[in-house]
Amino acid sequence: MNNTILIATQNPGKVREMQALLSTLNLEVRSARDSNLDLSIEETGDTYLENAKLKAMAYCTASGLPALADDSGLEVDALNGAPGLYSARYAPQQGATDADRRTYLLEQLAGETQPWNAHFHCAAVLALPDGTWVETSGRCDGIIIPEERGDGGFGYDPIYYLPEYSQTMAEIPETLKNTISHRARAIQAMIPLIEQKIGLK
């Protein structure tokens, strides 16, 4: 098996983060765009893990390459764990942007007692051409704040405050985010499995 891995997403922010997280490996990290793949995977799973597996397996089958996918979600205590699995689709309008989803989330929290404690969760799956797969997970705790701060990151990062750093996920340096985020923790846990499965060690 050659030392190539495919990032199973169309999200450029995720591609950038994963390429940075995997940069220490002797590995060609391809995006779906690099491979001319434009798959639309319906996320029908009941868990982050099921959705990550659906995406990883579909991209692996389509490309013939080991494929790494993740499914992530934001769970807010005051909203009983919402938006959760629907974090990427959490706005009523068609074609909603990240900014639309942040605005909608804050609208749902209006009137709820602060602090708005929240948790980012990530499940990662590496699917292999022989039909096998491995999984890891990560979590990052924080607080939703009512105003946007910072211009880094993507998704809910500008309103996701990290008390231990006194900054939002969009304010901290990308190098720090790539060590403490839910996705970083899941991918860091995946690295030894990638090395084992792809034969880097």
Residue 40 has pLDDT above 90, yes or no: no
Q: What is the pLDDT of residue 201?
A: 58
Give the chain's domain count.
1
- Residue 200: how many CB atoms within 10 A of its CB? 13
The parent domain of residue 103 ranges over 4-198
Min mean pLDDT across 19-28, 139-148, 159-168 is at: 19-28
- pLDDT tens digits for range 54-78: 999 999 999 999 999 999 999 999 9
Of 24-38, 84-98, 102-116, 185-199, give the lowest mean pLDDT range.
24-38
pLDDT category, 1, cuts 50, 70, 90? very low
Q: What is the DSSP letter of 114?
A: S
Q: Looking at the predicted structure, is the pLDDT value of residue 153 above 90?
A: no
DSSP collapsed to 3 states, 45-66: CCCHHHHHHHHHHHHHHHHCCC
Contacts of 6 (CB under 8 A, 6+ apart): 30, 31, 32, 35, 37, 59, 60, 63, 65, 66, 67, 68
- Note if 130 is an active site residue: no
Check which CATH number belongs to the domain holding 100 and give it.
3.90.950.10
Is the pLDDT at 2 greater than 70? The verdict is no
Q: Left if phi > 0, otherwise alpha if psi is -120 to 50, otherwise beta: which for 121? A: beta
Average pLDDT across the chain, whole number: 93
pLDDT digits (tens, 9 = 90+) for 95-150: 999 999 999 999 999 999 999 999 999 999 999 999 999 999 999 999 999 999 99
Amino acid at 78: A
From the candidates 70, 71, 141, 157, which is the catalytic residue?
71
